[in-house]
Structure 1
Amino acid sequence: MANILVTTTEQIPNQHYEIIGEVYGLTTQSKNFIRDMGAGLKSLVGGEIKDYTKMLNESRRIAIQRLKDNAAEMGADAVVMMRFDTGSISQDMQSVAAYGTAVRFVD
């Protein structure tokens, strides 16, 4: 597992670094029949659809780990300006991307 610092900020306090390049981590998750049925019922009464929230949280976790792995392969120590992007590929598939700038610490 890559031990890479990931931050949404542009600067890391008290660190000097050089930019290596863009890094990203992607995942696509599919909803299953049980989740779809539960979501359909929940939409009738309103409220949080916990299975979908759980799926999106897991997708973000996977995307960040893949981002870290990508950064480690490039020799990075950290990723700055990390962001998420999400989208639907189809009615039953959700994609999550984590992306940012890989950097290497210098003295």
Structure 2
Amino acid sequence: MADILVTTTEKIPGQEYTVIGEVFGLTTQSKNVVRNIGAGLKNIVGGEIKDYTAMLNEARDISVDRLRQNAQEMGADAVVMMRFDSGSIGSDMQSVAAYGTAVKFK
């Protein structure tokens, strides 16, 4: 899967390609109750909540891996115009979506 190039740009220098279609990679993550309590306490004094930052980094990595897998299943060589979207589900879950356009090199 690492062979699938993922880029946020529309054009890949030196490559011509045809569009295959849209691809997605989705994940929803949550922290355990103990870490949620710690995050709530940190919310009182302010500052970065490192457990949530780590959770979002992990969610981002998983969503890109799944995006690559989806592209590979479609026979793509690369994904262009990759973007992220995220949102909260309840008070302790975060959903992350990576999406883009799968392309095949000519």
Structure 1: runs of 5+ lacking an equivalent? none
What residue is the counterpart of 2:87 in the other structure? 87
Give the letter for the 1:84 counterpart. Answer: F
Q: Deviations over 1:40-98 (max 9, x none)?
A: 11111111000000000000000000000000000000000000000112112110000
Equivalent pairs, count: 106
Structure 2: runs of 5+ lacking an equivalent? none
What residue is the counterpart of 2:78 in the other structure? 78
With normalisation by structure 1, the TM-score equals 0.95
* RMSD (CA atoms): 0.9
Does 2:2 match 1:9?
Answer: no
Q: Please tell me whether the aligned partners of residues 2 and 72 of structure 1 are also in contact (alpha carbons under 8 angstroms).
A: no
Give the letter for the 1:80 counterpart. Answer: V
Q: Following TM superposition, where does structure 1 have runs of at least 4 consecutive aligned residues deviating by more than 6 angstroms? A: none
- Residues 56-71 of structure 1: matches in 2 within 5 Å? 56-71=56-71
Q: Please tell me whether the aligned partners of residues 78 and 103 of structure 1 are also in contact (alpha carbons under 8 angstroms).
A: yes
- Residues 29-48 of structure 1: matches in 2 within 5 Å? 29-48=29-48
Q: Please tell me whether the aligned partners of residues 26 and 95 of structure 1 are also in contact (alpha carbons under 8 angstroms).
A: yes
